[in-house]
Amino acid sequence: MVGFDIELMELLGKKLGYEIKWQDMSFDGLLPALQMKKIDAVIAGMSATPEREKAVSFSIPYVFFEGGHDVIVNNKSSFKKKEDLKGKTVGVQLGSIQEQFAKDNGSIPKLYNNFTEALLDLQNQKIDAVIIAEVSGKEYLKTMKGIKKIDTIKDKLPNASIAFRKADSKLAKEFSNAILELKSSPEYAKLVKKYFPEHYDNFVASQKKK
């Protein structure tokens, strides 16, 4: 497992003295698994929506630069922007906010257990596009052939946060404090430069203003 979320959580674990053990599972099963104590935290580009906050506790957002959601299509398609996908079938992850983005765009959402399945269908031209959080989309775009990004949907909801059980609100606060400390560290800046080079200069400039 690789990616911005993965490396960030490893840094937080090291900072706080926790050993991080990873479990890969479908997005819609993450919060139920958390509540059933099969896992202790969730970091998966998950936004702290009001509905989710009823069920779990969240850390502060851990993305401190402009972000959004990638609109990805097959290389052979003629789509140029998200508006071209009105009435078209768009793959989204079950339980994710991308489903609402697809509906708001006038597209027909097709639900998948994970983005790998959705993008495989996109490669095989079984669907017209996929909407995926930028933090995840960048990794797929690097490794999967035959797909390309054509547009970005800005996220008006809170940025990605780490989810914890309601009973572990103290743990959420502990990670929130660590995130704030990490934000101004060279390690965080390196992660931004590695995974989001297009946002690096703006991020560094924003930190210098503070």
Whether residue 113 is found in the same domain as residue 11: no
- Per residue in 60-87, pLDDT (tens digit) is 999 887 778 999 999 999 999 999 999 9
User: Given pLDDT bands bounded at 50, 70 and 90, which one contains residue 45?
Assistant: confident
DSSP 47: B
Domain that holds residue 189: 4-64+158-208
What Cα–Cα distance (Å) separates residue 128 from each residue in 81, 86, 96?
12, 10, 18
What Cα–Cα distance (Å) separates residue 32 from each residue in 85, 91, 158?
32, 22, 21
Whether residue 22 is found in the same domain as residue 74: no
What is the mean predicted confidence (pLDDT) over 77-100? 94
Whether residue 75 is found in the same domain as residue 131: yes
Of 196, 71, 54, which is closest to residue 128 (Cα–Cα)? 71
Residues 6+ apart with CB under 8 A from 151: 70, 71, 81, 82
Q: Is the pLDDT of residue 146 over 70?
A: yes
Indicate the average pLDDT of the chain.
92
Q: With pLDDT > 70 as the criterion, what percentage of the chain qualifies?
A: 98
Whether residue 163 is found in the same domain as residue 201: yes
Q: CATH code at 132?
A: 3.40.190.10
Whether residue 135 is found in the same domain as residue 175: no
Whether residue 142 is found in the same domain as residue 193: no
Number of domains in the chain: 2
Whether residue 120 is found in the same domain as residue 195: no
Measure the CA–CA gap between 27 and 151, rounded to whole angstroms: 23
What is the mean predicted confidence (pLDDT) over 16-21? 97
- Per residue in 149-206, pLDDT (tens digit) is 999 998 765 578 999 999 999 999 999 999 999 999 999 999 999 988 888 888 888 8
The confidence score (pLDDT) of residue 157 equals 55
Whether residue 57 is found in the same domain as residue 106: no
